[in-house]
Chains A and B, each alone.
Chain A
Amino acid sequence: MSVDLNVDPPKFKYSEMIRAFLSAVREYKKPTFIAIIFIVLETLIECTIPFIMSLLIDTMGDYSTGKLGDASIMNIVLIYAAILVALAATSLVCGITAGRFSARASIGFSTNIRRDLFKKTTEFSFNNIDKFSVSSLVTRQTTDVFYIQMSYMMSIRIALRAPLMLIFSIVMAVIQSPEISWVYAITVPLLVIALGIIIYVVMPIFVKVFKKYDALNESIEENVRGIRVVKTYAREDYEKAKFKDRSAEIKVGFTKAERIMALTNPVMMFSMYVSMALLIFIGSYMILDGIGWVANENGELVIGFASLTVGQLSSLITYGAQILSSLMMISMVFVMISMSTASMRRVYEVMIEEPTIKNPENPIYEVGDGSIEFKDVNFKYKANAQKFALSNINLKINSGEMVGIVGGTGSSKSTLVNLVSRFYDTTTGEVILGGKNVKDYDLETLRNNVSMVLQKNVLFSGTIKDNLRWGNKNATDEEMVEACKIAQADPFIQTFPDKYDTYIQQGGSNVSGGQKQRLCIARAILKKPKVLILDDSTSAVDTKTDAFIRKGLRETLPDVTKIIIAQRISSVQDADLILVMDNGTMNGMGTHEELLKSNKIYKEIYNMQNRVGGSDNA
């Protein structure tokens, strides 16, 4: 089965993508809202605090120039202190509240995205799954979501705070002294341009290096997987050399990117220093220039500042630092978001994917019997594919029959049976089950009645019982044993110390291939279906056991239509009807004897497999 795995290049609008992601906020709207309010409050207070502090310094400065008397200074300091303490306390409360709620909101949000994605994939038809491929679905739900979550978490606080800080600081700087705050009109654009250039240059490099980095990790995986081959050919040194080159390539790329990124700090320092130097020079000029005689509260003439005070100067410097650092943060958020854009796109592609197979409007919930009919069925995996995977299939199977299907790899045997349980829909023609088109059945009803043991069958981590209950949630122990006896699984299960409570590891790695297949058959039998399909499900089972399984199926499930796809003629030769598939068409149909006489392919396979019996085997 060869399916083109390339996903079409995405065409969508950013705004729609953002909206799709935001829809995952759902029950976290309230915490999000609260978090935003408190972040805003906290930021405002945080910006006010240096302002009050500068007032405090100013007052002290006033004192030293004689504007204030000895007695009042203590009072004034205490008043400011009280204000500052109150502000700090409020800011602390706001900060803690914001922190808690934003943690709840952002983690909740990313959890929702994960759940949405997962739910979406379970709605996928086989077509959808093939389109993305399993490994890509895994990456999208793990690595990509993780990247999005990280960038979201890191940026949400900063993304709100930094612009607020920027605006507030600019406003305050201008309020403090419009005459001198123009200094920032030089340094801020300077920084913005420099940061812009850095981001512009570094982003493509990062994207490229990260791709190579992924490739490196893939090659490590390949190495780990093939370690026996590596060791067999004593290729350790070769692998090391190969890895060295690849790793060095990444080092070069990362170094280039990091070196450019490392410029941001000096650039930031430079702008900061230029602003400070300008402020101090121009500021002190203005202070001195503006000194004049001012009347104090007692009507005496004292020296005063007309245009700029020392305190104002120091708070200007503070605000300048805030302006520049909030710009830095904004640029960092920008980098982070743009780095996760690729991940966002990949996740979004899954989010908007439409399942190609859906439940019909007024579904039928009852399957009459296990009779199956294919009427002029043609099928291709992709609408724009040139070649039909199945063409011109006409076939009638009576309820309760045992049908065998043989044919080489790529002859579309699996494709044929996948149409019965609507894993794929026919391109043209109809598949009739129990007298009704399969498209008219409720999907769950259909799939519960057409039980399929897939070629690539999978057991899930859990006990044997847990796995068997997939077939029937409420299966009793007796029913399970019964099914396992039919599938010839009971004997080996009994040899396990924990019997039916034996824990199966992920992917069923602690049972052999043949045991896995037998467990999967038992699981399918437990569904009590009308049609049972075994898609090459006994390939790892020895011939004798294989025969016992078929015998068991025939005797215990006489009313169930049984379709058996197999490589071995011996697995199908006792079937009521045997189909020979070749290259997507039906090459022959009949009983074993008939086909041996009439079908070339069948005869060829049979002879090949039975050469064993002959004495000479060159």
Chain B
Amino acid sequence: MLKNKKLPPIFRIIFGFISLHKTAFICSLICVLFTAFGNIAAPIVLQNVTNLITDTINHIVINGNNLALKMEFWDEILFNGCLLVGAYVISTVAGLTYSQINAVAGQKYMDDLRRELFNHMQDLPVRYFDQNDKGDIMSIYINDVDTIRQLIINSISEVEFFICTFVSVIVMMIMFSVWLFLITIVAGVAMVLATKHIGGHSSKNFLVQQVNIGKQEGYVEEMMNGLKVIKSFCHEQESIDGYHNITEIFRKTGTKANSYANILMPVLGNIGNLLYVLVAVVGTIFFVNGINNFSGMGGFSPFTVGIIVSFLPIVRQFTNAASQMANQVNTVALAAAGSRRICALFDEEPEADEGYVTLVRGRYDENGNIVECPEKEATLWAWKHPHSADQSVTYTLLQGDIRMFDVDFGYNPNKIVLHNITLYAKPGQKVAFVGATGAGKTTITNLINRFYDIADGKIRYDGININKIRKKDLRRSLGMVLQDTNLFSGTIMDNIRYGKLDATDEECIAAAKLANADSFITRLPQGYNTYLTNDGANLSQGQRQLLSIARAAVANAPVMILDEATSSIDTRTEAIVTRGMDNLMKGRTVFVIAHRLSTIQNSNVIMVLDHGHIIERGSHEDLIKLKGVYYQLYTGAFELE
């Protein structure tokens, strides 16, 4: 879907629809054709009836009023009537069918599009989320997808319908009079030019306005988030003035955009009226001067009033259709902008994963070798390492041994933020990182779980190059508790189970107990079934943190990364959380980042980072003896009165 990157985005979206719902599209197209049938039938029948009436009257004039003539007339009328009713039935049924088909297919496509977008987004690297504003990403789903909804649901079938009307109208015109048709063409060109000019201005301004709305909403969001600060600084008037300026720009562009949009219809409508007059006048001139008509029906023949009378209603149909179609200009322009952003998301490269070493359950066989086995018999986790050279497979026990050798890294290739990082974390060891904000603590953990890839050096996990490990398996072996907790809408149980989807309730509760979360959960009225919304807004920060620890506990990963997990919690709660974490850390390799030294003091190794360099390393005692930066930090907390 949407693969052809050479096409303009809006066509990619439309062709995506057509190719995914070929049958529906073709069926609806055929039905639209039939619907247009009704539109053609009506004037033709009306024309026939008019002719019939005129003929009959002429007969009456010549032959006098007789019953036989009237009967004949009624037969003719009946015939035309059946024709008309038949056409109407077909047209109505077809109309019913295509609008239903479009509704179903359109919604299906919206579903496809949403899902494709979301699925694609899931596979994007963390870098994408770090580099793009959350609000911008959200606006793709909220605003841009909606522009496509408008386009697919309304515009496509309308445009289809109008194209059919146009074709039928043009055919009819040619049937009646080519000369008059040529006049219509001239007016048609005028209409296209007017639409291009006015509609172009209008769409341009609508797009600008779209941007302005974004700006204005951004301002509102910022100010509302800082509303209490505004109040405390008595900054109300300034923020009102700021908003006034932003909305003034919004007002100006909005007025412009809508003026153009409002003008388009009257202009087109009146071009249509002029066309009507022109056709009537020219037709009459031709007729009075006895100029021959050239038509699809009769070839060259004298011009009659009947031709003009029949032609005029078709002219009106033509102009109506033209103005209706021009009405879609803004929808299409907005959809074009929307599809540009949607396609930009689609064109983001997904996270590459060239890893082939996988994580499997296993046990030792009688010879002490690791063999793969089903979950029930499993006693251990192992890395399954297939070797392409000799088709053999080796298994390595998952222990949690992580080593980095001379690792360099930069988020931006030109700016290296980690230099020459070398570290060993043996199974069961606790490694701590200390340093100022921006020193590179979190960056190191981002490399271990391959949110980002190193620029130089190597990282080994149980002796395996981590690039060879499948990303999903690598991450599954790493538990993370971050400062920002990020819970999901759902029950507390659901949130804990996020760590291990097939965990039983008992396992989840056990994990919660391990994390010290059980006591507060059971005190909630609904206990484990308490429904959380909005990132667990109804819980305190400490409680949220306990849940995220429980989530990590149920995942039961051999390696844990704790990134400032307790920094936004008050001391008494921290004590509880710390106890939960201590339980979790037992027997695991742990990487800890904390700015409270109390949390890391018992680590096996403490790395002091400064501007991407490890400047000190060793145990707490070693570092105290070293009397370096760590010593200063440590004592700094206590030499102060």
CB distance from B599 to the nearest CB of A (A): 9
CB distance from A190 to the nearest CB of B (A): 14
Contact among B122, B225, B251 for A134, CB-based, below 8 A: B225
With contacts A57-B312, A251-B107, A280-B81 known, is A470 near B95, CB below 8 A? no
Assess the A570–B270 pair: CB atoms within 8 A: no
Give bound CA distance, A254 to B280, whole Å. Answer: 47
Assess the A605–B571 pair: CB atoms within 8 A: yes
Assess the A99–B263 pair: CB atoms within 8 A: yes
Assess the B111–A247 pair: CB atoms within 8 A: yes
Chain A residues closer than 8 Å to B438, beta-carbon distance: 512
Of residues 198 through 254 on chain B, the ones whose CB sits less than 8 Å from some CB of chain A are: 213, 216-218, 220-236, 239-240, 243-244, 247-248, 250-251, 254
Give bound CA distance, A13 to B265, whole Å. Answer: 37
Assess the B57–A96 pair: CB atoms within 8 A: no
With contacts A231-B451, A314-B46, A567-B570 known, is A99 near B217, CB below 8 A? no
Most chain B Cβ neighbours within 10 Å, of A80, A248, A280, A317: A280
Size of chain B's interface in residues, with CB distance under 8 A? 158
Give bound CA distance, A280 to B284, whole Å. Answer: 26
Chain B residues closer than 8 Å to A119, beta-carbon distance: 240
A19 CB within 8 Å of chain B:
no
Chain A residues closer than 8 Å to B535, beta-carbon distance: 222, 225-226
A229 CB within 8 Å of chain B:
yes
Per-position binary interface string of chain B over residues 46-70, scored 1 when its CB falls under 8 Å from any chain A CB and 0 otherwise:
1001101110110011000000001
CB distance from B454 to the nearest CB of A (A): 17
Most chain A Cβ neighbours within 10 Å, of B50, B115, B261, B288: B50
Assess the A287–B53 pair: CB atoms within 8 A: yes
Nearest-neighbor residue (CB-CB) of A129 within chain B: B227
B531 CB within 8 Å of chain A:
no
A34 CB within 8 Å of chain B:
no
Per-position binary interface string of chain A over residues 254-267, scored 1 when its CB falls under 8 Å from any chain B CB and 0 otherwise:
11001101110110
Assess the A78–B281 pair: CB atoms within 8 A: yes
B488 CB within 8 Å of chain A:
yes
With contacts A106-B258, A507-B222 known, is A609 near B571, CB below 8 A? yes
Assess the A64–B247 pair: CB atoms within 8 A: no
Interface residue stretch chosen among B12-20, B135-143, B413-421: B135-143
Chain B residues closer than 8 Å to A56, beta-carbon distance: 280, 312
Give bound CA distance, A256 to B548, whole Å. Answer: 39
Per-position binary interface string of chain B over residues 475-518, scored 1 when its CB falls under 8 Å from any chain A CB and 0 otherwise:
11011101000111100000000110100000000000000000
Nearest-neighbor residue (CB-CB) of B161 within chain A: A265
Give bound CA distance, A138 to B406, whole Å. Answer: 48
Chain A residues closer than 8 Å to B437, beta-carbon distance: 512-515
CB distance from B411 to the nearest CB of A (A): 14
Nearest-neighbor residue (CB-CB) of A601 within chain B: B572
Assess the A273–B38 pair: CB atoms within 8 A: yes
Assess the B273–A87 pair: CB atoms within 8 A: yes
Contact among A80, A236, A451 for B123, CB-based, below 8 A: A236
A281 CB within 8 Å of chain B:
yes
With contacts A73-B288, A269-B95 known, is A423 near B255, CB below 8 A? no
Assess the B266–A111 pair: CB atoms within 8 A: no
Nearest-neighbor residue (CB-CB) of A142 within chain B: B217
Give bound CA distance, A129 to B449, whole Å. Answer: 41
CB distance from A241 to the nearest CB of B (A): 10
Contact among A153, A284, A303, A447 for B77, CB-based, below 8 A: A284
Per-position binary interface string of chain B over residues 249-277, scored 1 when its CB falls under 8 Å from any chain A CB and 0 otherwise:
01100111111011101110110011011
CB distance from A235 to the nearest CB of B (A): 7
CB distance from B580 to the nearest CB of A (A): 15
Chain B residues closer than 8 Å to A280, beta-carbon distance: 45-46, 49, 80-81, 84
Assess the B501–A276 pair: CB atoms within 8 A: no
Give bound CA distance, A570 to B304, whole Å. Answer: 104
Assess the A608–B262 pair: CB atoms within 8 A: no
Assess the B225–A218 pair: CB atoms within 8 A: no
CB distance from A24 to the nearest CB of B (A): 12
Nearest-neighbor residue (CB-CB) of A71 within chain B: B288
Give bound CA distance, A42 to B270, whole Å. Answer: 11
CB distance from B308 to the nearest CB of A (A): 6
Chain B residues closer than 8 Å to A313, beta-carbon distance: 46
With contacts A122-B240, A310-B50, A611-B598 known, is A226 near B153, CB below 8 A? no
Contact among B88, B100, B473 for A273, CB-based, below 8 A: B88
Chain A residues closer than 8 Å to B228, beta-carbon distance: 126, 129, 423, 454, 456
Per-position binary interface string of chain A over residues 204-228, scored 1 when its CB falls under 8 Å from any chain B CB and 0 otherwise:
0000000000001111111111111
Of residues 601 through 641 on chain B, the ones whose CB sits less than 8 Å from some CB of chain A are: 601-602, 633, 636-638, 640-641
Chain B residues closer than 8 Å to A123, beta-carbon distance: 236
A458 CB within 8 Å of chain B:
yes
Assess the A49–B122 pair: CB atoms within 8 A: no
With contacts A95-B263, A232-B478 known, is A269 near B92, CB below 8 A? yes
Nearest-neighbor residue (CB-CB) of B232 within chain A: A452
Give me 6 A-to-B residue pairs in the complex whose CB atoms sit less than 8 angstroms apart, sorted by A's number. Answer: A108-B251, A115-B244, A138-B221, A142-B221, A262-B99, A514-B437
Interface residue stretch chosen among A170-178, A425-433, A540-548: A540-548
